[in-house]
Structure 1
Amino acid sequence: MSSNSVVIKIAQPYAVALLELAKTKKVTEKVSQDIQSIQSILLQSDKLKNFLANPLKTTEAKKEVIIATFGDQISENTLSFLMILVDRKRIAMLDSISSKYLELAYQMESLTIANISTSIALNSNQENLLTEKIKVMTDSKEVKLIVSVDPELIGGFTIQIGSKVIDTSIRGQLRQMASHLDVLVT
């Protein structure tokens, strides 16, 4: 079993527990906003991620940093959850737990997350058209696009929805042609 699948197995129950707490207290939307904010900060700060993952740092030091970093930006429920993660020595998995939580929360809301990689930035009209197409394809009420620009695609785009990948990029087409040529040569 790969270490990534172990992390996902450990992250799942924590994400479920946080979602259940949020539903019980009727603060799902606020907790989801908090988690998005936490993910954004973690994405911008490798130093913070490394600090939280460092087993040599004390739980008190980690709690102080969490309070200083997130204390005034997130709700008491989310902050308490982070403290539990520190106590249980799972704070290093915060990124995975956050991603799993958002995935579960979006499923609950019938929201589909589509990761789009494009060779150039999309304008709002293109994003709207893509959103409508994905709604039809997935039969979702709501679609959230996470767009990133990857110039190595040469042209076109890729869409990842869950485990399904749609590759319309020139790089993908070149790869496909190369694999067909390999079959013909052998």
Structure 2
Amino acid sequence: MAGRYATALFELALEAGMVDAVSADIDRFEALLSASADLLYLVRSPVYGSDEQLRALTAVLEKAEIGGLAGNFLRTVTANRRLFAVQDILRAFRARVARHRGEIRAQVTVAEPLSETHRAALAATLNSVTGKDVAIDLTVDPALIGGLTVKLGSRMVDASLRTKLNAIRHAMKEVG
């Protein structure tokens, strides 16, 4: 279901020549979801009816200035009682946009937020390794202690301090 909705949004955006604008609005909406536990609860909870969700979502979209195709799409998803799947829909939409642009998406998890300089260096390294434009989905997880993990397609590189410490602990258990 998420793929069908994402494909419909992508094709509408492509036909209207608004892929970049819709992507920017979708990114803003996802940032709102990440920042607000209340909004995430509204999206996921079956307690609210579609009318309540639609009223609340409309207010959020107006305040965030998300309108046009992206706003109408999100309202349609809500009216169709599919708001619970909006994160999967938006993830599938981003994947379609990335394929259209010839980009590859990398999921990068770091122990602490990256500076713009480090983020640019990471992007440049991933671009040179793949020979393509790499879009980075960055997640912060303090449990890594230090370092980072990178998932690029089917490849994964784990250079986290947590993994290195676990390897040392495992090696010491074998010795003792």
TM-score by length of 1: 0.79
Deviation for aligned residue 1:70: 0.2
- Candidates 43, 50, 60, aligned match of 1:59: 50
Q: Which residue of 2 aligns with 1:87?
A: 79
> Distance in 1 between the 2:25 and 2:113 partners?
27
**For the residues of structure 1 that align with 2:171 and 2:4, how far apart are their CA atoms?**
43
Is 1:39 paired with 2:30?
Answer: yes
CA distance in 2, matches of 1:42, 1:125: 26
What CA deviation, in whole Å up to 9, does each residue of 1:51-72 have, x standing for no partner? 2333342322221111111036
Structure 2 SS opposite 1:126: helix
Give the Cα–Cα distance (whole angstroms) in 2 for the partners of residues 75 and 116 of structure 1: 30
Measured against aligned partners, the alpha-carbon deviations of 1:133-160 in whole angstroms (never above 9, x if no partner) come to 10122221x2333434434323322112
Partner of 2:108, secondary structure, is: strand
Residue aligning to 2:62: 71
**Residues 25 and 175 of structure 1, relative CA distance in 2, 3 Å threshold:** same
Per the alignment, residue 16 of structure 1 pairs with 7
Task: State the AA in 2 paired with 1:103.
Answer: A
Distance 1:52 1:151 in 2: 26
Shift of 1:121: 4.2
Q: Is the 8 A contact 1:30 1:75 kept in 2?
A: no
Alpha-carbon distance between aligned partners in 2 of 1:59 and 1:149, rounded to the nearest angstrom: 33
Tell me if the contact between 1:31 and 1:75 (Cα under 8 Å) persists in the aligned partners. Answer: no
Q: 1:173 aligns with which of 160, 164, 173?
A: 164
Q: Is the 8 A contact 1:22 1:28 kept in 2?
A: yes
Q: How many residues align?
A: 174
* Residue of structure 2 in register with 1:108 after alignment: 100
How many angstroms apart in 2 are the aligned matches of 1:152 and 1:71? 36
Range with greater deviation from structure 2 (118-127 or 129-138): 118-127
Q: Given the two structures, how large is their TM-score scaled by the length of structure 2?
A: 0.83
